[in-house]
Amino acid sequence: MDRRLFLREAAGLAAGAPALLAQNPPRTDAVRIACIGVKGRGMRLTRSFSSAKDSLVTTICDVDLNVCGPAVKIAEERQGTKPKVVQDLRRVMDDKEVDAVAIATPDHWHALAAVWACQAGKDVYLEKPISHNISEGRRVVEAARKYKRIVQVGTGSRSTIWVQQAIDFLHRGGLGKIYMAKALCYKRRKSIGRLPDGPVPAGVDYDLWLGPAPRRPFNPNRFHYNWHWFWDYGTTDMGNQGVHQMEIARWGLGKTELPRKIHGTGGKYLYDDDQETPNTQLTTFEFDGKVLLVFEVRGLLTNDEKEIKIGNIFFGEKGYVTLGTSSWQAYLGEEAVPGPGGREVGDPDAHFHNFLAAVKARDPGLLRCDILQGHLSSALCHLGNISYRTGRKLTFDPKTETFPGDPEANAYLTRNYRVPFVLPARV
């Protein structure tokens, strides 16, 4: 879809506006939200924020104008008013009519967009991982604190009732002392094949899409979704799907600091294609010599573990707990007798409502997943990837968030930013 076709379609959506307004009374006290990045996960954010009575999607922003039409239609159907379309997120930051932004761009844009939003006086709902590297994550935390912004991270497990029940069971000593948590991301990923470089599609601002990443020719295999599998933009499946399970593992273990020892291994097996990142990873994180977190990515054909392919298993002196995508179950004693458990219940939009409540109250303490929590869980993913890329076990200092005396590993803590898309060292 080129720009003219997009504008014609967008204009056509106005025809049903009077009927929609009758069904959806104006939300005069709503939080005015701009959705930045509306392909994939961003469409879910658009749907939820335009459905909530306490928010109004006023702006749809995407570097690819071809994906904006469906997002505009969804928002208008749910709230009765049509959001405007903006291609450059910097114009969103300049817009005084926008109270908050929902960011669902590729990973390499998350931190910079969030910092710019905080500096512009806007609250932020930020999809995971919150950063492309560890230094970026810390800058977002600093920006949120400095500019007193409400910044929620999109790891919605913190607002999920049955997950809360499982974590409460662990924290109340249901397994006794926990010695290990294993996070599983056994998500089937097929080969992306090979594609030649080609022309930039009409309606796409490719320079803006690249943003802080190095300039290189356009390739459809590095664009929508498949960007996840390239180091310049993505963070492997550990930072993509796995950050959810990393969050739950850290939460269940009660860890509010980063580990001191990290050992990651793996590779890209079976496929001969354009993908740069591994499809198989195994990483261990040692916190204090007494608690271990194990994270495993399997993108190829594999078995499950106790009926779980995406989820967590916690191991303690009294037994173990499995926590999948829709239920949890404790198994106790030497015979692994089923104990307490639960299944999926509650509001699927609870995490969004929690963000809106915190924004309206101007109280970050209400957030279920404040930016600091998101930084710690995202940093775990980055640590695992750094160990994989250096090919060895690493020693990390959680206080300075650096690798003492290890310039090779420290080089992965940040990136070389392409001007003018530079994340400041001090926000």
Note the pLDDT tens digit of each residue in 266-316: 999 999 999 999 999 999 999 988 899 999 999 999 999 999 999 999 999
- Give the per-residue SS3 of 32-55: EEEEECCCCHHHHHHHHHHHCCCE
Tokens of 32: 């005015």
pLDDT tens-digit readout, 374-392: 999 999 999 999 999 999 9
What number of other Cβ atoms are within 10 A of residue 413's Cβ?
Answer: 18
pLDDT tens-digit readout, 120-145: 999 999 999 999 999 999 999 999 99
What is the structure's pLDDT at 17?
Answer: 44
Q: Give CA separation, 313 vs 294, 306, 337, 381, in Å.
A: 10, 9, 16, 18
Tokens of 69: 């039409």
Question: In the chain, what percentage of residues exceed pLDDT 70?
Answer: 94
pLDDT tens-digit readout, 393-411: 999 999 999 999 999 999 9
- Domains and their CATH numbers in the chain: 3-156 (3.40.50.720), 158-202+225-345+370-413 (3.30.360.10)
Residues with Cβ within 8 Å of residue 287, at least 6 apart in sequence? 253, 255, 257, 259, 260, 293
Cβ pair 258, 383 in contact under 8 A: yes
Query: Alpha helix (H) ranges present in 226-298?
Result: 236-240, 242-253
Per DSSP bridges, beta strands 123-126 and 100-103 are parallel
pLDDT tens-digit readout, 152-207: 999 999 999 999 999 999 999 999 999 999 999 999 999 999 999 999 999 999 99
pLDDT tens-digit readout, 210-261: 999 999 999 999 999 999 999 999 999 999 999 999 999 999 999 999 999 9
- More confident: 218 or 9: 218
Say if residue 2's pLDDT is above 60.
no
What is the structure's pLDDT at 23?
Answer: 63
pLDDT tens-digit readout, 340-373: 999 988 899 999 999 999 999 999 999 999 999 9
φ, ψ at 355 (rounded to 5°): -60, -45
C-beta pairs of 332-339 under 8 Å, 24+ apart in sequence: 339/174
pLDDT category, 25, cuts 50, 70, 90? Answer: low
Residues with Cβ within 8 Å of residue 368, at least 6 apart in sequence? 152, 158, 159, 351, 354
Q: Could you give the count of Cα atoms lying within 13 Å of 300 in the half-sphere of its Cβ?
A: 10
What is the structure's pLDDT at 21?
Answer: 47
Q: Could you give the count of Cα atoms lying within 13 Å of 299 in the half-sphere of its Cβ?
A: 23
What is the structure's pLDDT at 8?
Answer: 44
Cβ pair 128, 155 in contact under 8 A: yes
Say if residue 5's pLDDT is above 50.
no
Cβ pair 110, 132 in contact under 8 A: yes
